[in-house]
Structure 1
């Protein structure tokens, strides 16, 4: 098939790019039409998609959360000590101290998340502070009320009860050695160290458990 040249009108077969008479080009390139949309298109640089909020991870230990937790733990220890045995009261009170320490941290730092290790440290510090406050109060009470003799008599009574439950000569000899002033001092120091370890261990467990539970709640 033929078509007339757009420039001179001479007949040209289809598919020939130039007119043989005037050399005018016969292939037309369609202009790129701009696609109109309701809203302007943004380039990749113009698009700004904010990332999803991610919880921060903190390893700082806020004393403002530790101190109130220690006080609450001591208050629970005194309250529960009236109805429960001393080991049970101490366990529940220190567990609560660790829980409260982590809970206060989350309340005062919204959006921040604690790792279980940091929660354990936070709980351990609350237990350590609770023991320190209790030791200071006990020492002041002994100094003011002169109750050191009562403490020694209580320890002696505990040793007598332990001696009554055994017939081992070596154990009885060791108990007798603990009854002198030097031995009683060692018993007191050992009891304080044991209580310190229990305070720190139980409260750290409470802090770690609370941190794990709150992390799961946060990620739901």
Structure 2
């Protein structure tokens, strides 16, 4: 039985005081949810504060990105080893915003996955299609290419120590949301693709839904057999919303 995982992606939002207030509310509000893992991925500058506040609590944390390079002359980059200094468990790689706004291609994402996993972090590998790709029936091909880049560089077995997040790009920040049936269909495709190479990995890997999850739709989404939780964007910045989403995963 796969445990449910709910990850808050704060993106480039908040300040130190807001972060502290939000974290304390999440700690209190999710105390009675023993069957799920609750995590937050904060901006780099706030990781020391996140570690201090969440240490010895049930909430875990991570970062939103990582460099594909080893330590060295890469101004402005953050290495996987640096994230370990702040006890990060997770790191997001290949988020749709990194792909679309910063030009990260499948190979770059796969390299970041490799560095993260090699350092002992759990990569949250984001995959997903744009509206244009969906409308011409390219959803499965696009996602297959995104997964294959990692599988070819690493191996199918590497996915066992990762999390996959399906992001329908057309449903992020647009107010549009895939129906639970639409989301489940893509999640099932991902799991079935993995099962073709390793049924054990397919059965165990957590696949999250990352398309504008809110308290109002979380229960229906999380009830789907191949949806193992959510990668939460805007709603993760609102304590009551995020706590309600975590509660939906519990129930």
- Which TM bucket (shorter chain)? under 0.3
Q: Which has the larger radius of gyration?
A: 1
- Structure with greater strand percent: 2
- Structure with greater helix percent: 1
